[in-house]
Amino acid sequence: MRSMRKPEVRWKLLLAILLTAVGGACAQNDCSFQTKCNECIQTPGCMWCASLKNAQDNTASHCISTQTSNVQSICEPGSLENPSNNQSITEDRPLSRSDNLQSAHETIVQLKPQKIKLQLRKGTTEKIALTYRQAVGYPIDLYYLMDLSYSMKDDQEQLAQLGSRLTSTLKNLTTFYTIGFGSFVDKVIMPFVDMHPSKIDTPCAGCAKPYSFRNDLPLGPNGDLFSQKVREAQISGNLDSPEGGFDALMQVLVCKDEIKWRDQARRIIVFSTDAKFHQAGDGKLAGVVVPNDEKCHMNALGEYDAYASYDYPSIGQINKISKEKDIYIIFAVAENDNLYSDLSKVVENSSYGKLTSDSSNVVDLVKDQYNKITSIISLTDNSSDAISIRYSSNCKNPNAEPVTTNQCLNMREGDEVTFHLDVELNNCPAYKRGEVVEVKTLQDSLILEIEFNCNCDCEKQDDGNLPATNCSNVGAVVCGICKCFDGYRGEQCQCKTDGSGEELSDEEKCKANTNDTEVCSGNGACVCGVCSCYNNWSGKFCHCNRRQCLSEEGELCSGKGNCACDQCACNIGYEGRACECQTSDACRKPGDLEICSGNGDCKCGQCVCNSTQEVRYSGQYCDDCLTCSVSKCSEFYAGVLCRFHNPTSSNCNLTVIVVDNLEDYQEANSRLCSFVDEEDGCQIMFIYRYVEELKTYEIHVQREKVCPLPAPIMTIVFGILAGIVAIGLLTLLLWKLFTTIHDRREYARFENERSKAAWTAEGNPLYKDPTNTFRNPAFSATSEPLKQQEAK
Ligand SMILES: *[C@@H]1O[C@H](CO)[C@@H](O)[C@H](O)[C@H]1NC(C)=O
Ligand SMILES: *[C@@H]1O[C@H](CO)[C@@H](O)[C@H](O)[C@H]1NC(C)=O
Ligand SMILES: *[C@@H]1O[C@H](CO)[C@@H](O)[C@H](O)[C@H]1NC(C)=O
Ligand SMILES: *[C@@H]1O[C@H](CO)[C@@H](O)[C@H](O)[C@H]1NC(C)=O
Ligand SMILES: *[C@@H]1O[C@H](CO)[C@@H](O)[C@H](O)[C@H]1NC(C)=O
Ligand SMILES: *[C@@H]1O[C@H](CO)[C@@H](O)[C@H](O)[C@H]1NC(C)=O
Ligand SMILES: *[C@@H]1O[C@H](CO)[C@@H](O)[C@H](O)[C@H]1NC(C)=O
Ligand SMILES: *[C@@H]1O[C@H](CO)[C@@H](O)[C@H](O)[C@H]1NC(C)=O
Ligand SMILES: *[C@@H]1O[C@H](CO)[C@@H](O)[C@H](O)[C@H]1NC(C)=O
């Protein structure tokens, strides 16, 4: 049995390689690996041949590519399972004509077709064309909800006006309208309404008994009756200013049958009031605490009778329900305050208008609303994840290319647009055979009854009860392959499961983990619970990839080890993913314990040396540092020095080669060292280099020391002397200059002082003549000196 299986596996592999070569990485490659009919047809591009022509050799796959050219020569005619998509329109009523809508009872058809049956195969797209034509005079349901609390007394005339204008507007828009009328006051309980017996029946002069909400006139086609009812409406009385309009609005929204909302109509509520509204929470004032239940509570008289049980609805509830029911609300308010315009922003698709004496703007709002809801057509669907639907349309430009969109704008009555739908089955859900999908517009819908083409017909017909010889007599042929009876497995039912029921199924035996989705890790075929792996895969679950062991040259573990699963087990001395590296021993300097001399890391047999800003190691073992003081220079210092001082000493045993010109011996890995001989101040220079072959250092020494030239002593002495003399002369000169300037200045000052003196220079005033002259009266009076004496 094993020998029967082997060739088939090989054949499949051959086919796979062939297809890989021919078709590139195309999905069709997968065909031959599909062993079941349903799996085959769920693979795009594959089909199943139940009866192969060359079945005898038992090597061909039943699952073949749809691209196969000579199908007739491979497969018996009529045994091919290749389901295609199928589309049949099951309901296709004509679109309503835009000009002869005569009867209001005629159902309006805007979308065509209405029902399609689809058979979809996984991965193939089915195209559907859908036509939409906007009907003329589309039905409108308009419900006029009026506040009849006492405050509206002065607006009553306007309300009646609005009522009749609404009728005529509707008549203008469409012949198929219905119009209805309801009114509200407030919850008939304290403190909203005066419950005193005298007030409860006639709260005010000419007033009606108060009520919460009354459906005065259900929707109907009679416009005159509507106008009459509105005119006759009687004001009632209540106490507080906010009114119970929300209670009424909720009832109008939810009481479909009582209000008589039609299915196929645009539904509008015109809500007219002049006062604020009560909302959720206000009911507490009257002890009503149960939130509004959003249900219809109308009695036989058409009145809301659960007002005392449920609180007012909230704004959120009104918004939610109006959206749910597709009903548009127009707030027509007498008092122009922002409350309702703000409210209309919160309630989706609602609008707000002031109630004026001629009510024209509310009428315009109704017209706008009508235009708005008829101008957009958009398609939506409720398909599940298994199905995807894409929409495209050229809308109203027949010459344009369709673009991806599910809506068209600016639709007018009578306009016709075509939508193209691409429907695709993304996957085959295990739990269902089909799905009903509704593609809908606001009012119309297309029903798609989709059947999934996920299983083969031959699998469905269950005639496989006759044991076949080629199924080891313990299985029947279904879809051309053996369907084994209980207790047997394998392609030819050749394997027994012993019927114990405890044994794992084949497929589970082919899974590494029970939670694996694929057998044999997706890299092999499961045959009778044993994996047979595809090329380059190995291991019990085909989880090992031989390619992980290949070196860059394509050699398995570089020839230095064995491939175990997906990892190389390298021989001693080798390491790395594909044993491409020598172990760290190659990084160790002979005789050294440290790898890369402790200055680097061993990467695949090569030292990768450490290097920082200041320290950069180099050399085969990172044992040198050309940039730092740590070098072998000092190691050789003594040995070289003794060559110059004491070469004959036995201690001077370092082998050196003395050379004339050191530069001639400089090599890439040699290092130049130099130091000064302290005895004579001359520089000794040598180079060393590690010689790998000799495992020793080779040292070349420069024969001549480089000595400094003798200094010129006489020049220095004379220079110094000359310097001293020059400095002395300069000092003298400076001294002379200084004294001269000083003397000059002193003399000038003296001159100056002298010129300022007030006395004559001839005589010193302090001077006293030391000699005294005495006149001798007896002496003759004419002598010269005497005269002088007197003048003084
Ligand atoms: C498509 O489906 C219809 C109705 O189910 C059937 O009559 C028709 O033969 C099918 N066509 C193909 C090509 O399967
Ligand atoms: C109804 O339509 C006619 C013509 O289209 C127009 O003259 C008339 O004013 C309209 N009436 C209303 C109430 O809009
Ligand atoms: C209703 O309101 C929604 C959300 O604001 C908006 O997307 C939609 O177009 C409105 N529909 C109409 C008919 O105005
Ligand atoms: C879609 O809507 C239609 C009609 O309402 C219903 O019959 C069908 O089950 C829905 N489909 C899904 C997938 O919800
Ligand atoms: C089994 O044999 C029958 C007749 O001998 C043949 O028709 C059928 O195709 C064979 N099936 C397989 C799966 O070989
Ligand atoms: C599958 O099960 C194994 C243990 O049996 C667990 O280790 C693994 O995380 C599981 N994988 C997933 C994807 O759940
Ligand atoms: C398997 O590996 C070989 C190299 O050893 C390679 O040439 C061949 O293409 C691989 N086969 C597949 C199917 O990847
Ligand atoms: C230098 O290399 C050694 C050995 O690999 C390592 O321990 C050390 O941290 C390295 N130093 C620097 C500065 O990289
Ligand atoms: C060289 O001399 C030193 C002393 O200077 C001594 O320690 C060393 O062993 C000697 N080496 C050889 C090879 O003689």
Which amino acid is residue 326, in one-letter code? D
Helix, strand, or coil (residue 550)? strand
Q: To 10 degrees, what angle do helices 338-346 and 315-324 make?
A: 50
Which amino acid is residue 511, in one-letter code? K
Domain limit, last residue, from 594, 623, 652: 623
From atom 5 of ligand 9, which residue's Cα is the shortest distance away? 651
Locate 586 and state its tokens: 């190659």
| Alpha carbons 114 and 89: distance in angstroms, whole number | 8
Q: Helix count (H) and strand count (E) of the chain?
A: 16, 41
Q: Is 438 in the pocket of ligand 4 (CB under 6 A)?
A: yes
Same domain, 285 and 387: no
Same domain, 263 and 165: yes
Please report, for the domain that includes residue 557, its CATH number. 2.10.25.10
Q: To 10 degrees, what angle do helices 223-232 and 156-173 make?
A: 170
From atom 14 of ligand 1, which residue's Cα is the shortest distance away? 86
Q: Is 517 in the pocket of ligand 6 (CB under 6 A)?
A: no
Residue 523 lies in a domain: no
Q: Is 51 in the pocket of ligand 5 (CB under 6 A)?
A: yes
Same domain, 367 and 241: yes
Amino acid 199: pLDDT: 72
Please report, for the domain that includes residue 119, its CATH number. 2.60.40.1510
| Alpha carbons 690 and 556: distance in angstroms, whole number | 37
Same domain, 198 and 313: yes
Q: Residue 482 in contact with residue 37, Cβ under 8 Å?
A: no
Structural domain range at position 124: 86-135+380-453
Residue 713 lies in a domain: no
Measured CA to CA in angstroms, residue 231 lies from 146, 159, 785 at distances of 12, 8, 166
Q: Is 478 in the pocket of ligand 3 (CB under 6 A)?
A: no
Same domain, 323 and 406: no
Residue 488 lies in a domain: yes
Q: Residue 64 in contact with residue 75, Cβ under 8 Å?
A: yes
Same domain, 233 and 353: yes
Residue 153 lies in a domain: yes
* Backbone Cα Rg of the chain: 59
- Domains held by the chain: number: 7
Same domain, 193 and 321: yes
Measured CA to CA in angstroms, residue 693 lies from 398, 597, 621, 631, 667 at distances of 89, 19, 15, 21, 16
From atom 2 of ligand 5, which residue's Cα is the shortest distance away? 470
Residue 768 lies in a domain: no
Same domain, 95 and 144: no
Q: What is the 3-state secondary structure (H, E, C) of 260-326?
A: CCCCCCEEEEEEEECCCECCCCHHHHHCCCCCCCCCCCECCCCEECCCCCCCCCCHHHHHHHHHHCC
| Alpha carbons 19 and 6: distance in angstroms, whole number | 20
Dmax (CA) for the chain in angstroms is: 207
Task: Give the ligand 9 atom nearest the CA of 639.
Answer: 5
Domain limit, last residue, from 702, 719, 741: 702
Helix, strand, or coil (residue 542)? coil
Ligand 3 pocket check: which of 329, 344, 349 to mutate, most ligand atoms within 8 Å of Cβ?
349
Residue 762 lies in a domain: no
Ligand 2 pocket check: which of 140, 172, 174 to mutate, most ligand atoms within 8 Å of Cβ?
172
- What is the DSSP track for 483-535? EEPTTEESTTS-EE-TT-S-SPPHHHHT-SSTT-SSGGGGSEEEETTEEEEPT
Q: Is 477 in the pocket of ligand 5 (CB under 6 A)?
A: yes
Task: Give the ligand 9 atom nearest the CA of 638.
Answer: 5
| Alpha carbons 544 and 563: distance in angstroms, whole number | 10
Residue 668: count other Cβ atoms within 10 Å of its Cβ: 5
Q: Cα(507) to centroid of ligand 6, in Å?
A: 17
From atom 7 of ligand 5, which residue's Cα is the shortest distance away? 51
Please report, for the domain that includes residue 298, its CATH number. 3.40.50.410
- What is the DSSP track for 121-146? -BT-EEEEEEEEEPPSS--EEEEEEE
Domain limit, last residue, from 324, 351, 374: 374
Q: Which residues neighbour 290 within 8 Å (Cβ) at sequence distance 6 or greater?
A: 309, 310, 311
Same domain, 166 and 285: yes
Q: Is 437 in the pocket of ligand 4 (CB under 6 A)?
A: yes
Q: To 10 degrees, what angle do helices 315-324 and 245-254 make?
A: 20
How confident is the model over 2-18, as pLDDT tens digits? 434 444 444 444 444 43
Q: Residue 464 in contact with residue 483, Cβ under 8 Å?
A: yes
Same domain, 102 and 43: no
Helix, strand, or coil (residue 107)? coil
Residue 315 main-chain phi, psi, to 5 deg: -60, -40
Q: Cα(388) to centroid of ligand 1, in Å?
A: 22
Cis geometry, peptide bond prior to residue 191 (ω within 30 degrees of 0):
yes
Q: Residue 335 in contact with residue 149, Cβ under 8 Å?
A: no
Q: Cα(6) to centroid of ligand 7, in Å?
A: 20
| Alpha carbons 711 and 707: distance in angstroms, whole number | 12
Which amino acid is residue 312, in one-letter code? Y
Q: CA torsion sign, 199 to 203 to 207 to 211?
A: negative
Amino acid 237: pLDDT: 76
| Alpha carbons 480 and 196: distance in angstroms, whole number | 91
Pick out the chain residues at pLDDT < 50. Answer: 1-29, 499-503, 783, 786-787, 790-792
Measured CA to CA in angstroms, residue 482 lies from 35, 466, 491, 575, 752 at distances of 11, 11, 6, 50, 148
DSSP state of 209: P
| Alpha carbons 476 and 497: distance in angstroms, whole number | 17
* Class of residue 686 by CB neighbours under 10 A (exposed 0-12, middle 13-18, buried 19+): buried
Q: Residue 545 in contact with residue 537, Cβ under 8 Å?
A: yes
Same domain, 227 and 317: yes
Q: Cα(650) to centroid of ligand 9, in Å?
A: 8
Residue 197 lies in a domain: yes
Q: Cα(546) to centroid of ligand 7, in Å?
A: 9
Q: Residue 128 in contact with residue 423, Cβ under 8 Å?
A: yes
Helix, strand, or coil (residue 754)? helix
Same domain, 281 and 187: yes
Residue 148 lies in a domain: yes
Q: Which residues neighbour 76 within 8 Å (Cβ) at sequence distance 6 or greater?
A: 49, 50, 51, 52, 53
| Alpha carbons 557 and 387: distance in angstroms, whole number | 49
Please report, for the domain that includes residue 474, its CATH number. 2.10.25
| Alpha carbons 100 and 110: distance in angstroms, whole number | 14
Cα 8 to chain centroid distance, Å, stands at 47
Task: Give the ligand 9 atom nearest the CA of 654.
Answer: 1
Amino acid 778: pLDDT: 65
Judging by DSSP bridges, how do beta strands 624-625 and 581-582 pair with one another? unpaired
